[in-house]
Amino acid sequence: MRKLQKLLDKHNCQPGRVFSFNARTQTITYVPEELKNKDGRLALLHEIAHMKLGHFTYKYDVELLDLEQEAWDETRSLAQENGIEIDEDHIKECLLSYDNWVTKRASCPTCGAYSLQRSDNVFGCFVCDCYWEVNDRKDRQVKKKIISAIKSTSGKTQEFVKSPKSKSAVSCFLFFVSSIGSFLTYR
C-alpha cells in the first residue's frame, strides 16, 4: 500500500467517482475504495500510463485503439515495477470493450457494412452511400443518426444495447483535447 501512496502522490492523483485521466490539466482521478482490488489498482496504473506516454489527442477511432494498446503495454511494465498483479483477462476485456465500441460506431446503420470514419463524429458507408453521425460519450450507448442516405429515412436514430455485464461502453475514462480544439470525453 505504501507503494500505491507514492504513485498517487507522484502523479497528481485526486480521489473521485471514476478512474480518469485529464490530458489538459494532467491530473488523474481514482476511486479510493477500488484500490483494494486488483482491477482497481490496474485501472490506476492504466491512467498513469496514459499520462506517462503523453497521450493528448486523437482524430480517428483507430488511433484511439492504438493509444489503448500502448497504455496497457505501459501498464504491464508499471505493474511489474510496483509489484502489482497483472490480470491478462481483465486487460483483454478492456481492449475488447474499445474494439466493440469502435465497431459499433463504424457499422453502417442501413446495411451493416464496416465503414470509413470521415471526421470526428461522421462516418460514411462505401456500400450504400449512407452517412451518419455518432454521439461522443463513451460512458453511454453508441447512438447513430443518419444524416444522409439514399435508401433510408433520414434522422432515424439507431441504438445499440450494451452488454449487461459492463456498466459502461468502455473501460477507462479519458478527457482528451479533440483535434478541433473542443473537449472530448472518452472512456
User: Measured between alpha carbons, how far is 86 from 119 in angstroms, rounded to an integer?
Assistant: 36
State the nearest-atom distance from the C-beta of 58 to Zn ion, in Å.
Answer: 11
Question: Among 22, 29, 107, 110, which residue interacts with Zn ion (rule: CB under 5 A)?
Answer: 110
Give the nearer residue to Zn ion in terms of CB position, either 91 or 172: 172
Question: Among 106, 108, 134, 170, which residue interacts with Zn ion (rule: CB under 5 A)?
Answer: 108
Question: Among 4, 95, 111, 147, which residue interacts with Zn ion (rule: CB under 5 A)?
Answer: 111
How would you classify the pairing of strands 27-30 and 13-15? Answer: parallel
29-88: contacts with Zn ion (CB under 5 A) = 71
Alpha helices by DSSP H, listed for 29-152, are 38-52, 61-81, 88-106
Phi, psi dihedrals of residue 175, rounded to the nearest 5°: -115, 105
Angle at CA 36, nearest 5°, toward 30 and 39? Answer: 70
User: Measured between alpha carbons, how far is 164 from 90 in angstroms, rounded to an integer?
Assistant: 17
Binding flag, residue 130, Zn ion (CB under 5 A):
yes
Contact region with Zn ion (CB under 5 A), list: 10-18, 23-31, 117-125, 137-145: 117-125
Number of H helices, E strands in the chain: 4, 10
State the nearest-atom distance from the C-beta of 17 to Zn ion, in Å.
Answer: 17
Question: Among 8, 42, 78, 125, which residue interacts with Zn ion (rule: CB under 5 A)?
Answer: 125
| Residue in the structure block whose three cell numbers are 470526428 | 120
Contact region with Zn ion (CB under 5 A), list: 3-11, 73-81, 113-121, 132-140: 113-121
State the nearest-atom distance from the C-beta of 6 to Zn ion, in Å.
Answer: 22
DSSP H/E element including 185 = strand 183-186
Residues that bind Zn ion (CB under 5 A): 71, 108, 110-111, 113, 125, 127-128, 130, 172
